[in-house]
Structure 1
Amino acid sequence: MATQTAPNLLRDKMLKGLSYQKSGEIEKAQRCYKQVLKKVPNNADALHLLGVTYRQMGYPKRAVEYIQKAIGANANQAPFYANLARAMMDIGTDPESLLAVSNKALSLNPREKEALNIKGIALTKLAQPEEAEEIFQRLLVDHPDFGDVYRNYGILLRQNKDYSKALVFFQKAIQLVPDNPQNYIERSRCRQELKDYDVSQEELSEALKRFPSNADIKHEAARLLFSLSQTHVGVTYAEEAVADNPKDYHRLVTLAVHYLMLGRGQQAIDTFLKAKKLAPEGAAGIDWNLSLSYLSVSDLDNGWALHRARFSDKMSSSTAREFSVPEWDGEDLSDKTVLVWGDQGLGDALKCGTMLPDLVGLAKKVIVELSPKAVPFYERSFPEIVFRVKLPDDAVLPVDYDVTANITDIARIFRRDIEQFHLAKSPVYAFDPVRARDYLSRLPDADEKPVIGVAWRSKNLQKYRARYYLSAPDFAPVIEAEDAIYVNLQYLAVQKELEFLTARAKGSFVSFEDVDLFDDLCAAADLTAICDLVVSANTSVADMAGILGVPCVRFGPVEPPLLLGQASPPWYPSMKYVHVDESKPTSEILPEIVGVMKSEMQEVYPQSRRERLKLS
């Protein structure tokens, strides 16, 4: 019997290695390729396939090293460049380099599917969606069972905000490649964009069962649970994800925001600082959340210093404005006019407006831009300030000011520590006492009973916020707790809510039909002013009570810019804050809300209302 020649032995060893590799026995495949390389160190195929095995085992840098050696031995093989690009992508190589390597592969074989796939990914990252889409569509025609293409096409569609169509492609990717965890992750992210949280939670639970040790799935579960305000559950997944890879700054950020919302501010700071060391320069989201973390432990110096980072965070609703004049940085304003502008909602504008008197005391002139409905209320409160309606950004207006100031960011000048809150004048907003007394006169028995203003929710009922509010039926025990007159302060209340509370209160719940609580801030303020106490969810209703000095019991989540590390908001001396434990339904804290309400009522009734309205 003839013995095998050396080339035949090497070929058989290569084929055996390929067989092991296809069956998932990667270490056995590596041994075969290494045996070939021991005999022929420059064997291009063995170098290439050994590199691919390292990528499969999670060592992309070593994969790049061996595949580059393979290319050095034979530079004319399209698959070598395609797999090099794949390994480079795993280590986070920039899309320009990925595009160059995949183009090299395609110059050798224009139909090399992995190179086309990676080129499509690179073009997606380079914001060239039309060419990327053309590539993915061509791949789907030529390779209808190529699961990776469905996922990558879905990512492109999701980036283009075509979420429903993207979801179809992620579902197909899972159908074709059910053992790839990334397909489940991308589907979850698409569901979240569609606000389809419940289905996403169910699907991720199934994915966790399928991949119980996969840290990427755990990280995605933590992200979803954070969006659902279930950080008490998500924190465990976030911690396990970080333990798996402590150098992944994305995972550290996810863990840190969980700590922040759980009231573990110092742990949040420490974790964000670790993430910042690992993240690329200017990574979005870290400084903004670090600002909130500092504020949550009353470190106002560091908190306010980083607060402008919200403008570069895509998860923030804040948008920066550009002006042709500089931003005020605390310098002398005695001969200058300052334009004050805002970037957040009404509640924040009311809260931060408490600092306007500080600014007036420094500047020659103050101009403040506001929404149309806010202007009359502010004009009544601050007659020495010029108020005007904010116009669209593209409107051409004369520049009649020397510097600008964001109404939130002046806190770094005027509220650098908690003591400055204690020294600030309060209240600084005004109401119309004549109209307030008229409203009071319309309430039966107001001379004999307390008047309690109530609001139970916001108009924004997104899932992560709504869990901190109450429905009208859940709120009903509040209006049964005291023999009092309950005044509706809930803006945009639906008729069914009002009818339910009216029936439940048996005549003690009053809604002023002629008061527009949403658009007429002057009337809303005057009605709020007649109350001995306000009980409100974490909305602008509570802010209105706070700025007028009306005693208020406010309930809500961890809110660093409001609470600043204190038990109750230092912005409003008359306010008590009841923290909602997110591990329980908000309705379960009703006994605490009622208890604080009763305690406050004993302190403020009847003298607070009489003094405020100047009643005899």
Structure 2
Amino acid sequence: MSKPQLHHLFLKAEKARKSANFAECKRLCEAILRINKDEMGAVETLALCALETKHFAQAYDAARKLTEAEPLNVNGAMIASVALMNTSQDELAVHLLEDQISRTPDVPALFFNLHSAYAALGLNQKALEVAMKAIQLVPTNADAYNNLGASLHACARQSDAVIAFQTAVDLNPKHYTARLNLANAISGDDEKIVSEIEYVVREAKGVLSERALVGALHNTAFPYLRLGNLEKGWERLEYGFSPLIDSNRGRRPQRTFKEPRWTGEPLHGKTLLVWREQGLGDEIMFASMLDELRALDGKVIVECEPRLVSVFQRSFPEFEVRAEIYRAIFPFDSPNKDFNVQIPLGSLAALYRRKIEDFERSKPYWLPEPVKQADYAQRLQEACGSKLRVGLCWRSAVVSPTRSTSYTMLSDWADLLRRDDVCVVNLQYGPCEEELQQVEAELGCKVIRWPDTDLQRDLEAVAAIIANLDVVCSVGTAVAQISGAVGTKTLLCADSYNWTSFGTQGYPFQPSMQLVVGDEKSSMKSAVDKSIRNI
């Protein structure tokens, strides 16, 4: 076959690919390569075709062949790195891209992909460095500034991230991804956040992927809730269960059911399954709505975190309570077939908490185990006598750059620990003994704790201790939620008013909880000082 004929075949293959006729594209490319195995244009088109049809191994193999034949052709590294990242081989993608950059150091697209690979690995500082290099190459490129903003946000440099995203939008007002990122990075102006996201949802249909648009709709839930627009907020929160939402961004677990979603209709003797979602703290908070189900005309089954089974069964004896169980892989379905309708625990809010006045029905529900409660009553009497008993939880067990601003250090509570009229009781779960010993040595104080009490696994013990305290001081952890559910006075320290305030300055889900927000923006120490004064 002559070169003009081969070129004609190649043009047909390219046309087939661009019109999404991938089978024809593949057939034509393979025909070309049977005639001339070194025709790299066909190899590249075949690699792109495989990538677009999600045949990532084939895309990678073809792309590597392209790079071996044409080391300065960056398309081989670009295609291969995308294939690797789509199969969670991000570290290999980093090595491949860095190798290509050593040969072709002035190609911005290589740095864009390298940024994505580092970000996927959680190497946020490295991703930030790569984003800066890309901007040096293309200082007026909106994509480069969008990547920079993403890395700054991941490194907890929120104000800098806002500037970067805004720059991307200024450079390209129709860069809808940058607009969404800007909205997510803004803090303190929920009306602007909602306005920006709603604009993108209206304007970007057909431009952004359905996945991006569903994610945007879900992201409006929290500003709507912070503004007190509960109906809109709960409606948008339901997008968190869409299969298009990344599991680390939406509501979890994303279980699937053949049984229909319950929408509040009478049961008429049928069985309703209420299943847990989110983390432990959210589950305990949402469980305050289970009281609304006591009067239903049917059976209620509650599936919860295993540590909560005994608690919920005691507190809600009308229900059948069991540990959650579902298939750990897709389709994440339930082996139990003993229910007719189902609803995730948090979705009860759209039925029973549609306006702020509905929270007036919220009340403590957690009944501590009587024997444990009596045991810790005696222990605390021996340890504290007549002093004020204050439980303290100063951080989560999981701390990351983006979460650390919401937590405190034990040393931040020095003024409380030094008080002679207070007996401080440790409620911090997870490894913390070294912190406690260090602060005790520095301040000459004593924090009450017992070596036989596992505050992480034994939630019955945690609740029994809390039931015998005068007040609990905590940051946003499950400990605060347990305290609120038990009904003990709880001072919840926060750096801002979150969505769970619903536009108020309180904590409507838990009536015994007082939200203490620092005077200075993002100042947890200020919130700590206010809490200590309120004890």
- Which one of 203, 222, 237 corresponds to residue 149 of structure 2? 222
- Residue type of the alignment partner of 2:53: L
Quick one: which of 457, 482, 488 aligns to 1:519?
457
- Once residues 229 and 258 of structure 1 are traced to their aligned partners in structure 2, the CA distance between those partners, rounded to angstroms, is 10
Match of 2:205 in 1: 279
Aligned 1:135-154 pairs, distance under 5 A: 135-154=62-81
Q: Per-residue CA shift, 1:292-324, capped at 9, x if unaligned?
A: 222121111011112121122113362332223
Q: Which residues of 2 match residues 261-300 of structure 1 at below 5 A?
A: 262-277=187-202, 278-280=204-206, 282-283=210-211, 284-300=214-230
Change (3 A) 1:76 1:438: closer
* Cα deviation, residue 398, structure 1: 4.8
Secondary structure, aligned partner of 1:404: strand
Secondary structure of the equivalent of 1:298?
coil
Q: Distance in 2 between matches of 1:81 and 1:576?
A: 69
Q: Distance in 2 between matches of 1:441 and 1:247?
A: 66
* Aligned AA (1:229): A
Bigger CA drift: 178-187 or 509-518? 178-187
User: Residues 101-123 of structure 1, C-alpha deviation per residue, up to 9 Å, x if partnerless?
Assistant: 68657756764435533432342
Task: Describe the superposition over 1:72-112 as per-residue Cα deviations: whole angstroms up to 9, x where unpaired.
Answer: x9994577678879xx9xxxx67x35775686577567644
- Change in Cα spacing, 1:437 to 1:171, as seen in structure 2 (3 Å) is same
**What is residue 438 of structure 2 aligned with on the other side?**
500
By how many angstroms is 1:494 displaced? 3.2
TM-score (norm 1): 0.76
Residue 335 of structure 1 corresponds to which residue in structure 2?
269
- Going from structure 1 to structure 2, the CA distance change for 1:203 and 1:475 (only over 3 Å counts) comes to farther
1:368 alignment partner in structure 2: 302
Residue in structure 2 matched with residue 436 of structure 1 by the alignment: 373
1:177 positional shift? 2.9
**TM-aligned CA deviation for residue 518 of structure 1:** 1.2
- SS of 2:252's equivalent in the other structure is coil
After TM superposition, the structure 1 = structure 2 runs for residues 202-221 of structure 1, keeping only pairs within 5 Å, are 202-221=129-148
Q: Percent identity?
A: 25
| Higher RCO (Cα < 8 Å, 6 or more apart) | 2
Of 398, 402, 409, 1:460 maps to: 398
5+ residue gaps, structure 1: 1-72, 602-616
8 Å contact kept, 1:553–1:593: no
Report how many aligned residue pairs link the two structures: 515
Out of 289, 292, 309, the residue aligned to residue 239 of structure 2 is 309
Instruction: Map Cα deviations across residues 244-284 of structure 1 (whole Å, 9 max, x no partner).
Output: 2222322222112113xx13211111111122121347334
Q: 1:433 to 1:389 in 2, by over 3 A?
A: closer
Cα distance change, pair 178–482 in 1 and its aligned pair in 2 (3 A):
farther
The one-letter amino acid paired with 1:401 is: F
In structure 1, C-alpha distance between the alignment counterparts of 2:272 and 2:225, rounded to whole Å: 26
TM-score, structure 2 length as denominator? Answer: 0.87
Letter matched to residue 234 of structure 2: W
**Residues 424-454 of structure 1, C-alpha deviation per residue, up to 9 Å, x if partnerless?**
1411221245643542432357343211111
More displaced stretch, 133-142 vs 175-184 = 175-184
Q: Which amino acid aligns with 2:450?
A: F
User: Alignment partner for residue 537 of structure 1, among 453, 475, 489?
Assistant: 475
Comparing 159-168 with 551-560, greater Cα deviation is found at 551-560
Q: Provide the secondary structure at the position in 2 that maps to 1:463.
A: coil
Residue 597 in 1 paired to residue 532 in 2?
A: yes
Query: Helix, strand or coil: the match of 1:409?
Result: helix
Task: Quickly say closer, same or farther: Cα 1:106–1:293, change in 2 above 3 A.
Answer: farther
Contact 2:428/2:455, CA 8 A, preserved across alignment: yes
Task: Assess if the C-alpha contact under 8 Å between 1:272 and 1:286 holds in 2.
Answer: yes
Deviation at residue 479 of structure 1 after TM alignment: 2.6
306, 323, 340: which is aligned to 1:389?
323
Letter in 2 for 1:266: E
Equivalent-residue separation in structure 1 for 2:89 and 2:341 (angstroms): 41
Kindly indicate whether the alpha-carbon contact (under 8 Å) linking 1:476 and 1:504 is maintained by their aligned counterparts in 2: no
Shift of 1:373: 1.4
1:476, CA displacement in angstroms? Answer: 4.2
Equivalences for residues 59-458 of structure 1 within 5 A: 76-77=7-8, 96-97=20-21, 111-259=38-186, 262-277=187-202, 278-280=204-206, 282-283=210-211, 284-312=214-242, 313-314=245-246, 315-316=249-250, 318-393=252-327, 397-421=335-359, 423-432=360-369, 435-443=372-380, 444=382, 446-458=384-396
Q: Does 1:480 align with 2:418?
A: yes
Distance (whole Å) between structure 2 residues aligned to residue 524 and residue 547 of structure 1 = 12
| Structure 1 residues 475 and 125: alpha-carbon distance in aligned structure 2, compared to 1, 3 A threshold | farther
| 8 Å Cα contact 2:74-2:100 kept in structure 1 | yes
Cα distance, 1:396 vs structure 2:
7.1
Cα distance in 2 for residues equivalent to 1:410 and 1:187: 43
CA contact (8 A) 1:151 1:173 kept: no
Rounded Cα–Cα distance in structure 1 between residues aligned with 2:350 and 2:437? 46
CA pair 559-137 structure 1, distance change in 2 beyond 3 A: farther
Q: How far does the alpha carbon of each residue in 1:125-169 deviate from its partner, in whole angstroms, 9 at most, with x for none?
A: 322112112201211221123223113211211111112111111
Report which of the two structures shows the higher radius of gyration computed on alpha carbons: 1
Q: Which amino acid aligns with 2:350?
A: R
The DSSP-based 3-state class of the residue aligned with 2:346 is coil
Distance in 1 between residues matched to 2:419 and 2:72, nearest whole Å: 64
Does the CA contact (< 8 Å) of 2:142 and 2:175 recur in 1?
no
Distance (whole Å) between structure 2 residues aligned to residue 188 and residue 474 of structure 1: 37
Instruction: Tell me if the contact between 1:103 and 1:115 (Cα under 8 Å) persists in the aligned partners.
Output: no
Q: Give the letter for the 2:293 counterpart.
A: L
Q: Contact 1:501 / 1:509 at 8 angstroms: preserved in 2?
A: no
The one-letter code matched in structure 1 to 2:47 is G
**Distance in 2 of aligned mates of 1:188 and 1:163:** 11
1-structure distance, mates of 2:451, 2:437: 13
Residues 557, 310 of structure 1: CA spacing in aligned structure 2 closer, same or farther, 3 A cutoff?
farther
SS at match of 1:411: helix
Give the drift of 1:489.
Answer: 0.5
Q: Deviations over 1:333-368 (max 9, x none)?
A: 353321111221111110000000101222422110
- 2:292 maps to a residue whose letter is D
Greater shift, 527-536 or 412-421, is seen at 527-536
Work out the CA distance in 2 between the residues paired with 1:448 and 1:490.
23
The offset of 1:388, in angstroms, is 0.9
Partners of 1:231 and 1:100 in 2: how far apart?
Answer: 48
SS for the counterpart of 2:143 is helix
Show the counterpart of 1:469.
407
